Structure 1
Amino acid sequence: MNATLSTAEVLRTALAGLLDGLPPKQAAQAVDRLIANYRGTTPTHAPVLRDRSDVAAYAAYRMPATFEAVRSALDALRVAAPDWAPATHTDIGGGTGAASWAVAGTWDEARTTVLDWAEPALALGRELAAASGIPALRAAEWRRERIGPNLELAPTDLVTVSYVLNELTAQVRSALVESVAAAARAVVIVEPGTPDGYARIIEARDRLIAAGLTVAAPCPHSDACPIEPGTDWCHFSARVSRSSLHRQVKGGSLPYEDEKFSYVVATRFEVTPAPSRVTRRPQIRKGQVLLDLCTRDEALRRATVTKRHGELYRSARDAAWGDTWPPDGRDERQRRG
């Protein structure tokens, strides 16, 4: 990999070459159909990604967004456990490997195994990885496995499960999360940032905690989520550079879009969760910043940071949705003490 390029840039370059020779209209039609069906009720024994053109169009459209969402979750894990790094990684339902690219960009020595049922997706994932120039990706193993209740997982340091749970029945989801919890030292699960996606994350979170894992992010604690079911949902946002295919399919002109996602990170080793997490886009007003927070002790609350707070006010103006708060990781009692 060119040392001057980030993993995200290498991925964008690799994806740009996927659609060479595929008419733009055909690519856009393929993505339209796949968006409608791929993340729907199709059982995992009948992959919707049928051939290379399907996979190429879908990868070019979805991989950047999945990459950025997973990278955000991995960044939160790295903040909670700065001295930890996985030696092994299993990407369940990894398809063309977006989560594996995110892991390689975070820890460049993790040995990755990608499991998926769609052979065309695995084949394209291998191709992209081989062309990446990134050693961890080029060394990855791509294995066809049915993602179901009988999936056997070898012990591993890190498991990622991104945008997969909504393809499974409730019974299969439960069995999969329990298998993941038994096999991994750290688990990262990402779902769409919708009420249904959040509900699946909470379900998985509860099972991970019951299996003895500790929540590392985004929550400041491993207690019950303070959001009353049906009233709201916890989700975050990642900025994604839009390709020409994105603009063709969505008819937009902006060079970026925001991927909304929900996630949970849980571990079997010691972590330091955020004292508070910014759970909405900060509101900047004249002389003050309003931060909606999930906190360790007070559940959900709104903090008002004004100019009289000095450096903290400047930090609040720079705070982003999903950030740890306060930025130095200390809670307010530590700051006063």
Structure 2
Amino acid sequence: MSEYEARRLENIKRNEALVKNLGLQTGSIARDEAGRKTADRKQPAAKRRKLHTSQPTRTSARIASTSTQPTYNEDAQQDPSLSKRKSHKSAPVPRSPSPHLSPTQDLKALIANWSSWTPTQPPPTRDVEGTYHFASHPQFTPNKSPEAIIREGSFGGTYWRPLYSHHLHTTISEDWRELPLSWTSGLDAQKYLTNETYDPEVNKYGVSCGQSIEEWEAAGWIAHEHDVRGWFQWYCRFWLGRRCADDERQISRWRKCVGETGRWRRTLLRKYVQMGVRSVTDEGDDEGDGEEKGDVSPVVHQTCHHWAWEVRQEALDRFWAEGK
């Protein structure tokens, strides 16, 4: 066992103990999100879409054939469905180095820092609409937990694959093992986490979307000293109680994408209205009549899911009534 691996495992064990001592247990929250109804939770008249905890929902041939995807560039002004996702096998030419990392920073110290943090905040609370609230950052209100995003199918199953960083000139692997065991228990890791080939059928909505981590790095969206894999890795660690200097930037990106006035959130809700869909219901069967939730822009649905937000009945009703 290498010195780094031994130190990483020691840090993980220490953090797990700290999480347990601070009461930062997220399993009960995630299980509730995955389908268990609480006594005080208001249920809309329409049946909520079922959330599976072991595999993504079904996909129709029409949805699976969707070929347009959004970009993760929050500065892009075009409709997200106009951008094409490139293969995760691609190796784009790196642009200027990330401004967050000094070229002279010691690589071993940097890697050690990724797993040496100590949780300082409690887990979020959850309101009756299924929205999460973090005491330290009240403007950050996702409604999907990291565990739900993983279990329901995301990133084509490739997010935690071995990653070669053009900026650090090294390959990062096995860092998915720092996730709580409860988040990945029973999952096929090779299919849902470390697949080197992007598989759209793994995704909840059965479509490809977004860009590869290599492209995020080339675009300068990765703060290497905190999270070499970017947004979702940051969200996992933030959920578990870590706070760092990159929090404000990542939350700002989230708000621009799927916050109350987020571009993709509003795009998706607007499509519901344009298609005359008023209910967030089960996706149904391929032979069902009329438009289904899964047919309302599955690409934008999947993108919002990656950013820890999905359409809930309350938000849809509000948009129909107020247009916001």
Q: TM-score scaled to structure 2, two decimals?
A: 0.27
* Greater RCO (Cα-Cα under 8 Å, separation 6 or more): 2
